[in-house]
């Protein structure tokens, strides 16, 4: 469905009046013969264009009909999995991080967790519960600002960073029921401060402190993962590199009157080396796929949920599993989480470490440079980037 409109009309009338917004100039192309623009409607009726531009928080507050673009399609991958495992506190492994340097049995538990579930709940990690509450508080204060105030930090076109709804990368994409604030947090000299909230005033101070703590924990986890396979403890860290980075995704899931029809986040695995998720303290929603079933990840007070990212799955030659996970929303409560993605350096490619390639366990993945663009292109189409790296 497309129609032709002139460039002047778009710029002078539609844009200025604000009655008709266009998602992205990427979706407009010049019709060379008559210098008109062809506007691709991306399968959305004009009256639903608001759903492409407004944040989900605004749509949720003022909508009596679910916009088409959010409705899950029956033929999407994993949609035929109806057998949903109960949220069971004893199922998702709980690992005591303070024991990993000294206890063999805790290291074995870690290995078992990441080779089966691909995720675990980290306790006794050394970050005070009261500080985690502070991180939750600044996230909440940001999302509670007025829509107008938050829009000061809107993502720019073709840029990942900033505040916004699900990024549209394909015509067939079903939108996630979520708004996000996406920031490069480390190294600090790569922070794009124009996207960092000024309000609450301590936002940057709290987030910086949190990320510095997580960076240290990430190092400890990467060492423990190597030791759990009887490898030299720096073998993952060496590939991770000294010019690694960290991305923060603050996720806001508004309540939705049609919780069965949408997903907060579609099924995916993370493109990081390791992801540290600070869950909402009261509202569950995260599910992990294991043995053909979705399992709810319960809230464990003061724990951090740690996911193996696709890049560690590659480095471990497939021994560690980067779990497929998704987020459900509910009709009553908002949910706020913070995912920190620890990303290896991009100057060098990553690949399976030498010690893990044997005659019995041949190399499963090519050496790859895992760019953010590469990841998101696959993600929005519901595909795993790691599958594109298989030999």
Ligand X SMILES: O=C(O)CCC(=O)C(=O)O
Residues engaged in binding ligand X (CB under 6 A): 249, 251, 265, 270, 277, 285-286, 325, 327, 337, 339
Binding partner of residue 327 among Fe ion, ligand X, none, CB under 5 to 8 Å per kind? ligand X
Closest-approach residue to Fe ion (CB): 270
Number of other CB atoms surrounding residue 320 within 10 Å: 24
CA 267 to CA 321: how far, in whole Å?
Answer: 15
> Which residue has tokens 């924990």?
217
Give the residue ranges of DSSP H helices in the chain.
7-8, 16-17, 50-53, 56-61, 104-116, 129-143, 147-150, 203-228, 235-240, 310-315, 372-380
For the bound state, the minimum distance from the C-beta of residue 375 to ligand X, rounded and expressed in Å, comes to 11
For the bound state, the minimum distance from the C-beta of residue 297 to ligand X, rounded and expressed in Å, comes to 7
CA 231 to CA 235: how far, in whole Å?
Answer: 7
Q: Which is nearer to ligand X, 315 or 327 (CB)?
A: 327
For the bound state, the minimum distance from the C-beta of residue 232 to ligand X, rounded and expressed in Å, comes to 30
Q: Which is nearer to Fe ion, 97 or 286 (CB)?
A: 286
For the bound state, the minimum distance from the C-beta of residue 265 to ligand X, rounded and expressed in Å, comes to 5
Binding partner of residue 338 among ligand X, Fe ion, none, CB under 5 to 8 Å per kind? none
Q: Which is nearer to ligand X, 54 or 337 (CB)?
A: 337
Binding partner of residue 251 among ligand X, Fe ion, none, CB under 5 to 8 Å per kind? ligand X
Tokens representing residue 76 in the block = 């999407």
For the bound state, the minimum distance from the C-beta of residue 383 to ligand X, rounded and expressed in Å, comes to 15
# residues contacting Fe ion (CB under 5 A): 1
Binding partner of residue 162 among ligand X, Fe ion, none, CB under 5 to 8 Å per kind? none
| 302 binding Fe ion? (CB under 5 A) | no
Q: What are phi and psi of 231, to 5 degrees?
A: -100, 165
Number of other CB atoms surrounding residue 81 within 10 Å: 14
Q: Which stretch binds Fe ion (CB under 5 A): 102-110, 227-235, 268-276, 352-360?
A: 268-276
For the bound state, the minimum distance from the C-beta of residue 339 to Fe ion, rounded and expressed in Å, comes to 6
Q: Which is nearer to Fe ion, 162 or 323 (CB)?
A: 323
Tokens representing residue 64 in the block = 């009596």
| 166 binding Fe ion? (CB under 5 A) | no
Q: Which is nearer to Fe ion, 270 or 280 (CB)?
A: 270
| 270 binding Fe ion? (CB under 5 A) | yes
Q: What is the 3-state secondary structure (H, E, C) of 150-189?
A: HHHHECCCCCCCEEEECCCCCCCCCCCCCEEEEEEEECHH
CA 170 to CA 73: how far, in whole Å?
Answer: 15
Q: Which is nearer to Fe ion, 67 or 296 (CB)?
A: 296
Counting beta carbons within 10 angstroms of the beta carbon of residue 241, is it exposed (0 to 12), middle (13 to 18) or buried (19 or more)?
middle
Hey, what's the torsion of the CAs at 74, 75, 81, 87, to 10 degrees?
A: -60
Let me know: does 67 contact 77? Beta carbons within 8 Å. no
For the bound state, the minimum distance from the C-beta of residue 229 to Fe ion, rounded and expressed in Å, comes to 24
Q: Which is nearer to Fe ion, 354 or 387 (CB)?
A: 387
For the bound state, the minimum distance from the C-beta of residue 132 to ligand X, rounded and expressed in Å, comes to 15
Q: Which is nearer to ligand X, 10 or 259 (CB)?
A: 259
Q: Are strands 84-85 and 293-296 parallel, antiparallel or unpaired?
A: parallel
Separation of CA 6 from chain center = 37
Let me know: does 335 contact 253? Beta carbons within 8 Å. yes
What does the binding site for Fe ion look like in residue numbers (CB under 5 A)?
Answer: 270
């Amino acid at each position: 469905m497309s129609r032709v409109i002139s460039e002047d009309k778009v710029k002078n009338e539609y844009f200025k009046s604000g009655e008709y917004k266009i998602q992205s100039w990427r979706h407009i192309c010049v019709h060379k013969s008559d210098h008109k623009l062809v506007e691709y409607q991306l399968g959305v009726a004009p009256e639903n264009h608001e759903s492409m531009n407004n944040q989900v928080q605004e749509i949720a507050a003022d909508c009596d009909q679910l916009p088409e673009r959010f409705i899950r399609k029956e033929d999407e991958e994993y949609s035929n999995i109806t057998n949903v495992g109960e949220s069971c506190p004893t199922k998702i492994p709980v690992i005591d991080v303070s024991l990993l340097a000294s206890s063999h049995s805790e290291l074995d538990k870690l290995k078992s967790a990441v080779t089966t579930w691909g995720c675990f709940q980290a306790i006794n990690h050394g970050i005070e519960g009261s500080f985690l509450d502070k991180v939750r508080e600044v996230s909440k204060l940001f999302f509670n600002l007025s829509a107008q105030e938050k829009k000061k930090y809107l993502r720019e076109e073709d840029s990942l960073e900033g505040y916004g709804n699900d990024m549209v990368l394909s015509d067939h994409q079903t939108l996630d029921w979520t708004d996000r604030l996406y920031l490069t947090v480390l190294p600090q000299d790569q922070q794009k401060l124009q996207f960092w909230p000024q309000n609450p005033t301590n936002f940057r101070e709290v987030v910086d402190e949190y990320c510095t703590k997580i960076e240290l924990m990430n190092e400890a986890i990467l060492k423990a993962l190597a030791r759990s396979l009887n490898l030299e403890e720096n073998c993952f860290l060496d590939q991770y590199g000294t010019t690694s980075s960290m991305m923060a995704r603050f996720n806001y899931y508004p309540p939705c009157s049609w919780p069965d029809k949408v997903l907060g986040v579609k099924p995916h695995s993370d493109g990081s080396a390791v992801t540290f998720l600070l869950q909402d303290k009261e509202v569950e929603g995260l599910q992990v796929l294991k043995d053909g079933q979705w399992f709810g990840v319960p809230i464990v007070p003061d724990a951090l949920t740690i996911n193996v990212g696709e890049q560690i799955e590659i480095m471990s030659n497939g021994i560690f599993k980067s779990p497929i996970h998704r987020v459900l929303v509910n009709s009553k409560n908002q949910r706020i989480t913070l995912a920190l993605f620890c990303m290896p350096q991009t100057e060098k490619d990553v690949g399976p470490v030498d010690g893990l390639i044997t005659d019995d366990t041949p190399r499963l993945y090519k050496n790859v440079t895992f760019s953010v663009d590469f990841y998101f292109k696959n993600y929005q189409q519901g595909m795993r980037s790691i599958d594109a790296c298989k030999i």
